[in-house]
Every structure is written in structure tokens, then in C-alpha cells.
Amino acid sequence: MRWECRYLVKVLAPLIGQPSSGRRVRVMYHAFSLEEALIQAHNRAGACGVPVWIELRGASATRRRPRARR
């Protein structure tokens, strides 16, 4: 079921049960629609104040600089 979801809500947070550990990117929620993803991201960001973002499944949010042509 979760593999059919189109959007991922990701969060930058410490590992569960280890608040002193370094922060890692985790998938917080799998959403079928963008509206559902926005609601979940808004609820999570307001509750904890941690960075939250939405990604389209299969498309990473990291930006890469295009290679220069020779």
C-alpha cells in the first residue's frame, strides 16, 4: 500500500529513542495526494519545529549542479 503513494513527507530528526544522536533524514509519512502531504507536513512542523519537506516519490529533493561541458 505505501509503495502506491505518490508523495513522501520527510523530516530531519534524531533517531527514535536517542535524542542526543545526530540528525538524520527520515520518511515521516506516505501520502496519496499533495493535499494530504501538506496537512501532515504542516502538523509535524508546527508540533516539533523541525525541518519538514515533501518529495515526489522517485525524485530526490537534493539539488545537483550540472556538469560543465568540455
Grid coordinates given for 24: 538524520
pTM of the model: 0.69
Task: Identify which of 5, 8, 3 has the alpha carbon closest to the alpha carbon of residue 59.
Answer: 8
pLDDT at 59: 73
Grid coordinates given for 29: 509519512
pLDDT in tens, 45-55: 776 778 888 99
pLDDT in tens, 22-41: 778 888 889 999 999 999 99
Grid coordinates given for 44: 509535524
Task: Identify which of 46, 50, 40, 52 has the alpha carbon closest to the alpha carbon of residue 5.
Answer: 40
Residue 16 reports pLDDT greater than 80: no
List the strands of the sheet with 52-56, edge to edge: 23-31, 7-14, 52-56
